[in-house]
Structure 1
Amino acid sequence: MTELRQQACEACSADAPKVTAEQKAQLRKDIPDWEIVELDGEEQLRREFKFRNFVQAQEFTNKVADLAEAENHHPAILLEWGKTTVRWWTHKIGGLHKNDFVMAARTDQAYQDMQ
């Protein structure tokens, strides 16, 4: 099977199904550093990335923004001195879709590429 980060994102509509508990468990194996949190009643993937300074954190933030724009799938990104926190979820369905796991894997790859 293709690595999660290499899989294509699917077009998503408001009636698209959220991932099941079984799918979540399987997909999380590929993104072990992400946690599932619930904010405003919606499950989201969240991870904090650490950097040596603000400039590196900003560079990473821009890379994630470029990944998001390329897929028209946009996360919440918090940029701080020495860290960036990213949250992925699918706004249209109010929770997690496979696309969020794909984008989390791509975010991990962007981080690895900077190390």
Structure 2
Amino acid sequence: MENLCELKCEACRKGAPPATSEEIAQFRPQIPEWEILTVCGIEVLSRDYKFTNFAEALAFTNQVGDLAEAEGHHPEILTEWGKVTVRWYTRKIKGLHRNDLIMAAKTDALLS
């Protein structure tokens, strides 16, 4: 099985194929803390990260932002005191793409 952290995001165009249920099931063990939620009819990968204060949460938010810029794929991020919520999905296809799985794993790796 491929290691998600070693993969790169591909340019995603409107009409690109979404991640299949088989692909999601194959890679879920690499991102076990992530939930698949339906938000406004769109499946998203979502995870809350806990921190001891706002400064740590903000520093993590900035790391996620740098990662997103480097990969050319951008999440929704909510930064609060002691908590950061990150949601990955692909706007162009209104759902989950392989890129989202890759970015979830890379987001987790920021803390290791």
Pairwise TM-score range, normalised by the shorter structure: over 0.9
User: How many residues end up aligned between the 2 structures?
Assistant: 112
Letter in 2 for 1:68: A
Match of 1:86 in 2: 86
Contact 2:78 2:85 in 1 (8 A): yes
Letter in 2 for 1:71: E
**1:39 CA displacement:** 0.5
Contact 2:8 2:71 in 1 (8 A): no
Match of 2:28 in 1: 28
Structure 2's unaligned 5+ residue stretches are none
Question: Which runs of structure 1 show a deviation greater than 4 angstroms over 4 or more consecutive aligned residues?
Answer: none
Find the aligned partners of 1:3 and 1:13 in 2 and give their Cα distance: 24
Matches within 5 A, 1:43-82: 43-82=43-82
**Is 1:39 equivalent to 2:39 in the alignment?**
yes
Find the aligned partners of 2:18 and 2:2 in 1 and give their Cα distance: 21
TM-score, normalised with respect to structure 1: 0.94
Structure 1's unaligned 5+ residue stretches are none
**Is 1:95 equivalent to 2:101 in the alignment?**
no
TM-score, normalised with respect to structure 2: 0.96
Root mean square deviation, CA, Å: 0.9
Find the aligned partners of 1:13 and 1:19 in 2 and give their Cα distance: 14
